Structure 1
């Protein structure tokens, strides 16, 4: 390749790790983990021996086809392509290669394929809560499917941020995704996604949800007392969702447990993250209050509109400054929670064998 230096001849297995180390500061912690994981699991094993200046769109198309043959989820396949395209765009800017071959591939992904999620109806949420009752997953599932918390937010919620007197939750941060497996003490939380350090997200606790928090707090108090009586050390992280000894759960572990749990219920397949989509969709369908739902979930109005397939026909700058009063959030959550708890919860209780 005339006009390009020796950097153009470096293999992808050499270039991608160096690019990742220089680029990762632009990413959220959870995104850093997924980028690094996909680079090491898929991109380097499949294309690592190819020099930058020899990589072609055909090779990338072939890689995508192989990932699909491995039955990797379509969203995950697309994510790999996006990571590679981002890395190669940097190579173009660095002057290593003239064009980005990942932008000239023949493969086409369905529009918004990476944004669609499965969701459960209100009736299916009722069934899910019946199955998960008493299960080690229960508290995390309740926070996600009733309030739309991300898993990292549910695992990072602290009792000091749950005001049962004024019935309000204030999210200050989320649990880091890269905690070591033997972590006992949570030293710090990460900022909420798409928010700067110190920014929070608030929403009210409904009359229907209040007994849940009272029960969870009492169970945790009892567990702390039992640990003390038995001589087992209790790690007081002040977490609403935690192991019996107070230490934090790992996100990957909860996600894997949830997948196995859903198989045991016989219910339609759904990922843990889809519980958040379930909450948002049901809130919107029951109330039509688009702006309140977007603020409860912590989405920008435009982003939530795209996910829901709604055409706002409203100026983007205007939507950015919409302020939703707490009363509107309470109305939305109350309508959803009343629908969920409208009938007795019948069904098989979970178990703690996971």
Structure 2
């Protein structure tokens, strides 16, 4: 506990030092480049992983080049829009959209910290990338696959993915102290930091940190596994490989191999998460509930991702509603 307090104290001292360094910089004179540097020190360095910070810096290169020397308070929506226009055809729409979201976040902090009064990115229209197409299995296909891979090393990861919608990194990082049989809850709090699977870290957002209910099928399977191997609380739930490790990369490659070997419809390991969500929504489960289980930061993300399922849900709901009038 003392170590945690010391770490927190050091972190707060660093923040205060950064704030002091910028306290003499007037809002009217700070440039976009200067504010971005400040934002990385005061926020990004603390809130996101180093790998994410690196991606942010790469995304921001076109914006820094275009408006880096411009005073923050002088930047208008048209300045941002011109950046997107210049990038059209050079970068994918999805990449430009990522830049848009990052700029929105940066300028949002500029408003919060009272450097500017309004966020210009709010008035800019980003491109609308084509929706990602993904394939899913129906429940019978998923059941058959679990039957044929019963003795495979990836059996439990596949089982957990299909019954919780958890991400591969979250499944690989799951430990027995995260599984509460009495409350029938899995606490999703960790994910792998790198593909070697040797290090884990907290899941990336507040909404990613969540509790997922253990249904009857999964409860029975996990309980049997627990009673068979009698693990320590700090042991991983999914059995490790003979090498002592289990990685996201291994799950992906082994899953792909087994799908091909047993002639199943081709999907990726990550599509098991989509399969779970699609099955839940097709049962009429509220989109907000599905979003919470998946750890989505916004219900809109869930609705957009699974928009192909929603019309069927509406049709079923309307049929049930019409029965009330007969």
TM over 0.5: yes
Unaligned runs of 5+ in 1: 69-73, 225-234, 314-354
Distance verdict in 2 for CA 1:59–1:160, change over 3 Å: closer
- Specify the alignment match of 1:147 in structure 2: 164
- The one of 30, 35, 38 equivalent to 1:7 is 30
| 1:81 to 2:105 alignment | no
**Pair 1:205–1:150, CA change in 2 (3 A):** farther
Please list every run of at least 4 consecutive aligned residues from structure 1 whose deviation after the TM superposition is greater than 6 angstroms.
Answer: 95-99
Residue of structure 2 in register with 1:204 after alignment: 215
Match of 1:214 among 221, 224, 227: 224
CA offset digits 1:128-184 (Å, max 9, x no partner): 5467555544322220112322334423433345467x6x64223422443695737
Contact 2:163 2:276 in 1 (8 A): yes
Kindly indicate whether residue 50 of structure 2 is the aligned counterpart of residue 22 of structure 1. no
Cα deviation per residue 1:203-242 (whole Å; 9 max; x = unaligned)?
Answer: 3332x76347635875x67xx9xxxxxxxxxx98311125
- Which residue in 2 is equivalent to 1:339? none
Query: CA distance change for structure 1 residues 297 and 94 in 2, over 3 Å: closer, same or farther?
Result: closer
Distance in structure 1 (CA, Å) of the matches to 2:66 and 2:57: 15
Q: Please give the TM-score of this superposition, normalised by the length of structure 1.
A: 0.55
1:110-259 correspondence to structure 2 within 5 Å? 113=131, 118-126=135-143, 128-129=145-146, 134-162=151-179, 169-178=184-193, 181=196, 183=198, 193-194=206-207, 200-206=211-217, 210-211=220-221, 214=224, 218=228, 237-244=234-241, 249=246, 253=249, 257=253
CA distance in 2, matches of 1:259, 1:200: 26
- Are residue 108 (structure 1) and residue 124 (structure 2) matched? no
Match of 1:50 in 2: 66
**Residue aligning to 2:303:** 306
State the SS of the aligned residue for 1:171.
strand
Give the distance between the partners of 1:108 and 1:191, measured in 2 at CA. Answer: 26
- 291-300 or 46-55, larger mean C-alpha shift: 291-300
- SS state of the match for residue 30, structure 2? helix
Equivalent residue for 1:90, pick from 106, 109, 115: 109
Contact 2:137–2:265 (CA under 8 A) maintained in structure 1: no
CA contact (8 A) 1:148 1:296 kept: no
Distance (Å, rounded) in 2 between the aligned partners of 1:161 and 1:95 = 41
1:288 aligns with 284
- The 3 A distance-change label for structure 1 pair 131 and 107 is farther
| Structure 1 Cα separation of the partners of residues 205 and 90 of structure 2 | 35
SS state of the match for residue 81, structure 1?
A: helix
Structure 2 partner of 1:228: none
- Pairing partner for 1:38 from 55, 59, 83: 55
Q: Which runs of 5+ in 2 are unaligned?
A: 1-25, 315-326
